[in-house]
Structure 1
Amino acid sequence: MATTTTSVGSSILSALGANSGIDTSALVTSLVSATRDPRQSAITTQQTTNNARISALASAVSSLDTFADALSSVLAGADYKGTPNSSNSGLASVSLLTGGTPSGLPAQMVVKSLASARVYASTQATGATGSTAVGAGTMTITTAAGKTATITVGSSTNNSFSGLASAINAANIGVTASVVTDAKGTRLVFKGETGAANDFTVTTSATDSTSILAGLNSSAMTSTSDPANAKITLDGTDYEYASNTIDDAIPYLRIELTKADPTSTVNLSMSQPTATMKDLLKEYVDAYNTLMGALNTATSTGTDSSTAGVLNGVGAVRDMKTQLSKITSTQLAATGNYKTLSDIGIATNRDGTLTLDTDALDKAMAADPEGITKMLNPTMPTADNPGLSKLMDTVRDNLELDNGSLKLAQARYETLADDLTEQLEKLDEDMADYETRLTSIYSAMQTKLSALNATQSYLQQQIDAWNKSDS
C-alpha cells in the first residue's frame, strides 16, 4: 500500500512539473521563433533576389545610357568632325555647336559693324557714393519690345544709387544698371540688350524736382551708345544680327564677333578629323562587347539556380539583347554600296557580341571612304540616314519607353520590393500578437499549476501521514 501510494505521488509530481523549473518565457520565445523563422527566411530570400534584380536592371539601363551618350559625345567631338578655324580671331572666333557638323565651309566673311546696345549715363553727383540717397518718387523703364517696369523709390532698400541699381536689375526686362564712382563723383549707367530693336527709355517722377532721381530720365541723361545690329557679309551676302554671338549663319557653328573691319576678309574653315572611321568602329565594337558581355553574365543559366545570372529568365533583358543584336543589320543609309554595319565587316556572334573584320573594313574604306563616313556620321542625320549615333539613341529610346518591357519590369520589381517589406511588417505584427497570446496562455497555466502545487503539497502531507500510521 505504501509503495503504491508513493508511486502515485511521484506520478502526480511528474505530471504537474512540480519543482521542474519550467521557463515559460523561454518556451514562448522558442515557439514564436519556430513559427516566425521559416516564414521570415522565405521572405528575406525573395527580398535578396528581388533587390539584386532591381540593381542589375538599373545597371543595365545605366550602361545602355552611358554607351549611347558616349557614342554621341565621341562623334560630336573634333576628333571625328574636325575643328573650326578662323583666319583672323581678332575679328571673329568660331566654335562647334552640338548636334551636327558645320556645312557650307569654307566660307568668307567680312565684319562690317558690331552689334551695340543703348547706354545712358546720368550726371555725376559730386561727393556721392553708392549709398547716397537719390530721392523719393517713381522710375519707369520701357523697352521697344513693350516690356515695362515701374519702381517706387523711397524705401530704405532702394533709395540710394546701389539700391536703385539692384531694383532695376531685379526687374529683369533686358535693362541693367550699374553704379560707377570715380574722382568726379557717382552716377548710374543704364545698358540695354544689343540690337536695333532693343532700345529703351527711362522716365521718372520725383517728389523733389531737385533730387538726383529727377535727373534719372532719358532726356536728362547722356546716351553714350545707340542700339544697332551686327552687320556681316558671308560669301557675298549681307546679314544682320542683334547679337555679336551668331549661331544661325552656318549650321552647328558659333561665330563670335569681336571687332569690325570692313576692309578685311575672315576665312572660316574646318580642319580634317584626326581620327578615322576605322578608329571609331574598333572602339564601338569594344564598348558594345563590354555591354553585351555584362548582359550575358547577368542572364546566364549556370549549372543550377545558385550559379545562374541574377537576370536569368527576365524577358525585358532578353528583349534588350535582341534589339541590340539587330544593330548590325539596321539600315544606316538609304543609298550607296554600304548601308549597314554588316556591309563593312561587322558581324554578330552567337552570344550577341560583335566581331570586326578589319580586312573587309579596309576594303570598303578604300572603295568609298566618303560614303562610309556619311553613313556612320552624317552631317545632318535623317530618318533614312540616321548614322550610328542616332541609331543608338533610337534603340535606347525604344528600350526605355515608359510602357516598354524594361520600365515595366523595373516597376514590377519595385512593387514586389514594397510588397515584401509589407509582408515582413505584417509578420512582425502577427508574431507580436502570437507572443502575446502564448504569454497569456502560459501565465494562466502557471496560475493553475500553482494551485495544483498547493493541492499536491496537501496530498503529500496526507500520504506521509498514512505511511507513518502504516509503519
Structure 2
Amino acid sequence: MTSIGSSIATIIGGGSGIDTGALVTQLVNATRAPREQAITSKQSLNSTRVSALASATSSLATFSTALTEAMQNANLAGQPVSNDPTIVALSTLPGGKPQGLPAQIEVQQLAAAQVLESVNLPARTDPVGLGTLTLTTASGAKTITIDGTNNSLDGLAAAINGANAGVTASVAVDNRGARLIIKGASGATNSFTLTKELTDTADTNLSRFTFDGTTGGMTRQQSALDSIIKIDGIEYRNNTNTVDTALPYVRIDLNKAAPGTLVTLATNEPTSTVKDLVTEFVSAYNTLRTALNAATAPGTDTKSAGALAGDSGVRDMLRKLSALSTTSLAASGTYRSLSDIGVKTNQDGTLSLDTTRLDAAVAADPSGVAQMLNPSVSTASTPGIAKVVADLKTSVEASGGSIAASKSKYDKLAADYAKQMEKLNEDMTDYEDQLSKVYSAMGTKLAALKATQSYLTQQIDVWTGGSSKN
C-alpha cells in the first residue's frame, strides 16, 4: 500500500503539513500490534507445549526401552555350570530358567557314528567293478549303480552321496593308496549296510565294498552307538552327544566318556542381583518422574507454571506411572508387586526403596522375586515390570490415548492460530485500504480549499492595492 500513501502525499503535498503515508502506517501498526501480540503469545505457548509433550513422550519411551533391555540382559538366576567341562559342558536353552540343578551326572558312553573303511586301491581313479549295491539305512534301501561312467572310488563315493540316505562317503588318500570311507549319523539306530545280492552276476570286485552288518569286504572301524548318561541315578540314552531334554532349559554337551566319575552340575552366582535391578529401576524412574513433575508444576508467586501444567494427557501418564508400585506383576506367591518388596510411591510421585525389606524378600524367596520382576515367559497374569511399562507407554500413545489426544489438541490450536494470523493480515490490509481512501478524499478537499484560499488572497491583495492608489 506504499503507492497509495505516496499518492496522498502528492495530492496534499507539504502544504497541508501532514505526512499522510506515515500517518496511515502508524494507525495500522497501532491497531495491529496488540492483536498480533496476543496471537503470537498463544502460538509461542502452544509451540512450547508441543515441544514439552514430545519430550515427555520421548522420555517415557527411553525409560521403557532401557527397562526392557535391562531385563533382557539381567541374569538373575545365574548360569548352569559343570565342575569338569572336559567331561560335560552346560549352557542355557532359550525360553525359561534352568531347572533341576544341582545334579550329579555320569557319562557312561558317548554317542558314535558307524564308520566303514574299504581295502586300499593304488589310486582313487582305479575301477571298483560294475553292477549294483544296496545301501540300507534307517530311512530305507537305496540302489547304488556303478557303470562305465562312474567306475572308480570317486564315482562310487559320489553315487552313495547322491542317494541322500543319511550317510557320507569320501575317498581317503595316503602313502598306502586310496580307500573308500563311509560314515553314518550318530546313534544306535543309524547303523547301515551296503550289500550285493549273492545271485548278482555283476563284477565280483564290487564285493570289496560291501558290509552286511557283521562282515564284508569293508571293515567296520566304529560302531553306531547311543550316548548313555545317568543324572542323579536316572539313565538317559540319546543318539547324539548333545542332550537338551533331560533338564528343563539346560543343554548338556557330552565331551568325554568317564564311567564311574560323577560330575556336579550346578548354577553359578548371577551376574546381576535383584537388588541391583530394583535399585536401577527406582533411580531411572525417579529421573523420569522428576522431569515430568517440573513440566506439569503449577505456577506460584515465585515461579511460572510448567509448560504442561494442566495438560490432561500428561496427568493421565503420571497417574498410571504412580500406580506401578502396586500393579500386580504375578498371579500367585508371596511377592506380587513392587510394594511387596519394599518399593513405595512418595507423595510427589517418585519412588523410594526400603532395602531392608527387599533383602528380606530376596532371602526368603529369591526365585519368586526374580520371576515376578522378570518372568521367563511374560503372560497376562505374570507380565513382569518391563511389559507393564511397555503396555503403559502403548496405551497413552495409541490412537485415542491421552497423549495422542493432547497432541491432537495442540495441533488443532496451532492450525487455528495460523488462521487467526492470516485473518489479521487480511483485516489490516483492508483497514489500510480504508484509511488510504479516507485520507485521499481529505487531501482532495484540502487541495480545493487551498486553491480557494490562494484565489481569495490574490483578490484581497488586489483590492488592498487599489484602495491605496485612491
Q: What are the superposed Cα offsets for residues 327-357 of structure 1, whole Å, 9 maximum, x if unpaired?
A: 1111111211111111111111111111111
CA spacing shift, 1:93–1:376, aligned 2, 3 Å: closer
Q: Is the counterpart of residue 274 in structure 1 residue 271 in structure 2?
A: yes
CA distance in 1 between counterparts of 2:112 and 2:419 reads 73
CA distance in 2 between counterparts of 1:223 and 1:436 reads 99
Q: Is the counterpart of residue 336 in structure 1 residue 333 in structure 2?
A: yes
CA distance in 1 between counterparts of 2:396 and 2:161 reads 58
CA spacing shift, 1:93–1:388, aligned 2, 3 Å: same
Q: Which amino acid aligns with 2:452?
A: T
- The answer (yes or no) to whether the contact 2:111–2:239 under 8 Å persists in 1 is no
* TM-score w.r.t. length of structure 2: 0.60
The residue that corresponds to 2:64 in the other structure is 68
- The answer (yes or no) to whether the contact 1:80–1:273 under 8 Å persists in 2 is yes
SS at match of 2:352: strand
The residue that corresponds to 1:154 in the other structure is none
SS at match of 1:274: coil
CA spacing shift, 1:304–1:416, aligned 2, 3 Å: farther
CA distance in 1 between counterparts of 2:439 and 2:391 reads 68
Q: Which amino acid aligns with 2:447?
A: S
Return the match for 2:283 from 268, 281, 286.
Answer: 286
Q: Which amino acid aligns with 1:333?
A: A
The residue that corresponds to 1:392 in the other structure is 389
Q: Is the counterpart of residue 28 in structure 1 residue 24 in structure 2?
A: yes
Matches within 5 A, 1:340-359: 340-359=337-356
Q: Is the counterpart of residue 445 in structure 1 residue 445 in structure 2?
A: no
SS at match of 1:332: coil
CA distance in 2 between counterparts of 1:35 and 1:68 reads 51
- The answer (yes or no) to whether the contact 1:111–1:262 under 8 Å persists in 2 is no
CA distance in 2 between counterparts of 1:76 and 1:254 reads 20
CA distance in 1 between counterparts of 2:159 and 2:449 reads 112
CA spacing shift, 1:469–1:63, aligned 2, 3 Å: same
CA distance in 2 between counterparts of 1:384 and 1:390 reads 11
Return the match for 2:33 from 31, 34, 37.
Answer: 37
Larger Rg: 2
Q: Which amino acid aligns with 1:454?
A: A
Q: Which amino acid aligns with 2:67?
A: L
CA distance in 1 between counterparts of 2:353 and 2:416 reads 47
Q: Is the counterpart of residue 464 in structure 1 residue 461 in structure 2?
A: yes
Alpha-carbon shift at residue 452 of structure 1 (Å):
2.5
Alpha-carbon shift at residue 378 of structure 1 (Å):
1.0
* TM-score w.r.t. length of structure 1: 0.60
CA distance in 2 between counterparts of 1:228 and 1:65 reads 54
Percent of residue pairs bearing the same amino acid type = 48
The residue that corresponds to 1:77 in the other structure is 73
- The answer (yes or no) to whether the contact 2:285–2:351 under 8 Å persists in 1 is yes
- CA RMSD for the aligned pairs? 4.5
Q: What are the superposed Cα offsets for residues 241-265 of structure 1, whole Å, 9 maximum, x if unpaired?
A: xxxxxxx99999999x9xxx9999x
Alpha-carbon shift at residue 20 of structure 1 (Å):
4.0
The residue that corresponds to 1:407 in the other structure is 404
- The answer (yes or no) to whether the contact 1:301–1:309 under 8 Å persists in 2 is yes
CA spacing shift, 1:293–1:96, aligned 2, 3 Å: farther
- The answer (yes or no) to whether the contact 1:81–1:101 under 8 Å persists in 2 is no
Q: Which amino acid aligns with 1:372?
A: V
CA spacing shift, 1:298–1:44, aligned 2, 3 Å: same
CA distance in 2 between counterparts of 1:227 and 1:93 reads 33
- The answer (yes or no) to whether the contact 1:75–1:81 under 8 Å persists in 2 is no
The residue that corresponds to 2:305 in the other structure is 308
- The answer (yes or no) to whether the contact 1:112–1:262 under 8 Å persists in 2 is no
Q: What are the superposed Cα offsets for residues 184-214 of structure 1, whole Å, 9 maximum, x if unpaired?
A: xxxxxxxxxxxx9xxxxxxxxxxxxxxxxxx
SS at match of 2:413: helix
CA distance in 2 between counterparts of 1:428 and 1:20 reads 31
Return the match for 2:363 from 350, 363, 366.
Answer: 366
CA distance in 1 between counterparts of 2:165 and 2:458 reads 122
SS at match of 1:434: helix
Say how many residue pairs are matched.
338
SS at match of 2:368: helix
The residue that corresponds to 1:432 in the other structure is 429
CA distance in 2 between counterparts of 1:26 and 1:403 reads 53
Q: Which amino acid aligns with 1:312?
A: A
Q: Which amino acid aligns with 2:65?
A: D
Alpha-carbon shift at residue 272 of structure 1 (Å):
4.6
CA spacing shift, 1:467–1:350, aligned 2, 3 Å: farther
CA spacing shift, 1:434–1:237, aligned 2, 3 Å: farther
CA spacing shift, 1:236–1:222, aligned 2, 3 Å: closer
CA spacing shift, 1:80–1:431, aligned 2, 3 Å: farther
Q: Which amino acid aligns with 2:367?
A: E
Alpha-carbon shift at residue 435 of structure 1 (Å):
2.1
- The answer (yes or no) to whether the contact 1:102–1:250 under 8 Å persists in 2 is no
Q: What are the superposed Cα offsets for residues 144-198 of structure 1, whole Å, 9 maximum, x if unpaired?
A: xxxxxxxxxxxxxxxxxxxxxxxxxxxxxxxxxxxxxxxxxxxxxxxxxxxx9xx
- The answer (yes or no) to whether the contact 2:298–2:306 under 8 Å persists in 1 is yes
SS at match of 2:393: helix
Q: Which amino acid aligns with 1:430?
A: D
CA distance in 2 between counterparts of 1:62 and 1:228 reads 58
Matches within 5 A, 1:47-446: 47-80=43-76, 101=96, 236=237, 272-304=269-301, 307-446=304-443
352-361 or 449-458: bigger deviation: 449-458
Q: Which amino acid aligns with 2:280?
A: E
Alpha-carbon shift at residue 269 of structure 1 (Å):
9.4
**Structure 2: 5+ residue runs without aligned partners?**
1-11, 114-138, 140-157, 167-184, 188-225, 228-235, 259-263
CA spacing shift, 1:414–1:451, aligned 2, 3 Å: same
